[in-house]
Structure 1
Amino acid sequence: MINQQKIALLTDSCADIPQALVRRYDIYVVPLKLIFSDGEYADGVDITPTEVYRRLPQEIPKTTLPGGDMVEQAFARIKQAGYTKVLAINLSGGLSGTRNLVRLIGEQTVGLEVVSFDTLSGSLGIGMTVIQAARWIEEGWTWTELLRAMPALIRDTHVFFCVDTLEYLQKGGRIGKIAAVAGTLLQIKPIISFTPEGELINVAKIRGRKAAMQKMVQLATALVPRGVPFNLAVAHGDSLAELKEIREMAQKSLPDHLHLMEGEIDCTLGAYVGPHLLGVGVQMLSDAMNAAGKELEQR
């Protein structure tokens, strides 16, 4: 349903937003593409993460930007629906040119005012930001208030991921600032986050899966100042049973979260990191609300 401000939200398939929330907030999602030897697939449209994981041992796909035509079609649908403004919130420019593509096409789209933001993040980092913007739109925030809030919201959004191996990141050329991690036989698990420039970096190397999960929750908890309103998010890639476990850990350590988002890693990021990923994210709201001139509720 169109909001009174006529502001639409556009993101990409790496946002990992549950479909129920995509539908509730009328979010427009453009899919990135995966290229296997037998053809090209649209992320989340023609192929599922489970299918990607099944194929990874035989072939690591190339990943590429959404087609320009798909972005143009998304803007056309937004116009047709009656929106006049678009907040575009996309995958880190340190990993993909998707945000730049959306920005350029948005600038050329007649009849829409489009402002594009680089989340400098991926998965939960994008999804939490899009959904928080959707809540604010639903609450009646103005276009100006949203634009003032977004830089602080992005800056105060932090995600951590635990992967089984760096093999896929290395083979896919997405290693960024991640140092090699020795010790596969010792069950050393790297914990990955994003630099302020939106590149991947490993922030810890932990022995054992359970200890790595606990460490991610500790890292996230340490970022949340006492009394500050915040959102919490968890995600998995081919690890549904462990998602419940890390969600319970995170909720126990951070019981005062305003909202909890659960996501499943998309095909593109799944191809980057491989199966058995777990993630935790936190997003503080105080600075963003202050930037927009909004009152904070006392907690």
Structure 2
Amino acid sequence: MNKEKIAVLTDSCADIPETLIKKHDLHILPLKIIFSGKAYTDGVDITAAQVYDKLPSEIPKTSLPSPDEVRTLFQKIYDKGYRKVFAIIFSSGLSGTFNLVRLIGGEFEGLNVHAVDTLSGSLGTGAIAVHTAELIEAGRSFEEIKTILSRLIANTKVFFSIDTLEYLQKGGRIGLITAMTGTLLNVKPIITFSDDGQLMSVAKVRGRRKSIQKMIDLAKSHAPEGARYILMVANGGCPDEMDAVKAHYTRVLPNFENLYEGEVDCTLGTHVGPNLLGAGILVLGEND
């Protein structure tokens, strides 16, 4: 039921599986990855696995979609009969995509575009986008969902266990001293998104197994007693380990309403490197 003809647009950093994209008719705006001066389109002509293969020899740059690509996607949405759009976008603390989409959406005739800065990425952005689509399908109004989205963003927490801070340091995302310490001591960092949407380190744990346990403990700490919640897990080139994370996570928090799984996109992969594992939680209010 979608009487107001509302569409959901998000970007490739949301890491949403193709099955859910098709189920909810989500519209995906891909970002760009640049290797050796050549631009690739995230998830279209380059995969995360290919990025990981290239990382030892070159740290790529990431780039916004072009304004024409954004306009083309809005035109596609309009041509399909939609007249309102929730554009749910990767953190403005790491990318200019939100501002680009907001500006072009505000000029696009025929569409009422509400751009949302999730201050998150990967699991967080994807879960918010999918849940927004479900609210639309449940008949919630455009104005109602605007209010709900503010709560969803505030109540979404994601954590990532990564092998090394090397790639974050090389990409200018974290300080050199912290990166060297993590590498020399074989410490496994856990990162999250800060309040302003930038990546930040929240813990350093020696050993992969302990880092995974700490990541799950951190996510669990954001689930109030008796709350409704959605769980998310993701991996960057290590799906078997993600399955183990999922099994443990769902034992710890068994009363989830939905569980979303994803593979980390090329953009985040360029910043963090291979072997990332992620666990996230979106706490829902009574009317969310």
TM-score normalised per structure 1: 0.93
Deviations 1:197-241 (A, max 9, x none): 111111111000010000011111111011110000000001111
1:116 is matched with: 115
**Contact 1:124–1:233 (CA<8 Å) still a contact in 2?**
yes
Residue equivalent to 1:189: 188
Q: 1:260 to 1:83 in 2, by over 3 A?
A: same
Q: Secondary structure at the match of 2:274?
A: coil
2:9 counterpart residue number: 10
**Cα 1:94–1:183, aligned 2, differ >3 Å: closer, same or farther?**
closer
Mapped contact 2:169–2:175 kept (Cα < 8 A): no
Query: Gapped runs of 5+ residues in structure 2?
Result: none
Q: Deviations over 1:148-203 (max 9, x none)?
A: 10111100000000110111111112228994461435321010011111111111
Indicate whether 1:273 and 2:282 are aligned. no
Identify the residue that residue 52 of structure 1 maps to in structure 2. 51
**Contact residue 177 and residue 200 of structure 1 kept, 8 A:** no
- Could you tell me the percent identity over the aligned residues? 51
Alignment match, 2:211: 212
Q: Does 1:159 align with 2:152?
A: no
Contact 1:176 1:200 in 2 (8 A): no
**Is residue 150 from structure 1 mapped to residue 145 from structure 2 by the alignment?**
no
Change (3 A) 1:256 1:57: same
Give the match for residue 247 of structure 1. 246
Contact persistence 1:79–1:112 (CA under 8 A): yes
| Matching residue of 1:74 | 73
**More displaced, 65-74 or 153-162?**
65-74
Q: Deviations over 1:73-131 (max 9, x none)?
A: 11000000000000000010000000000000000100000010100011001001001
- Residues 164 and 179, structure 2, Cα contact 8 Å, conserved in 1: no
Which amino acid in structure 2 is aligned with residue 55 of structure 1? K
For 2:89, the aligned partner's letter is N
Check conservation: 1:164, 1:190, Cα contact below 8 A: yes
Partner amino acid for 1:84? R
CA change 1:159–1:235 in 2 (3 A) is same
Secondary structure at the aligned position of 1:174 is classed as coil
Unaligned runs of 5+ in 1: none
User: Do the aligned residues in 2 keep the contact of 1:181 with 1:190 (CA within 8 Å)?
Assistant: no
3-state SS of paired residue (1:268):
helix
- TM-score normalised per structure 2: 0.97
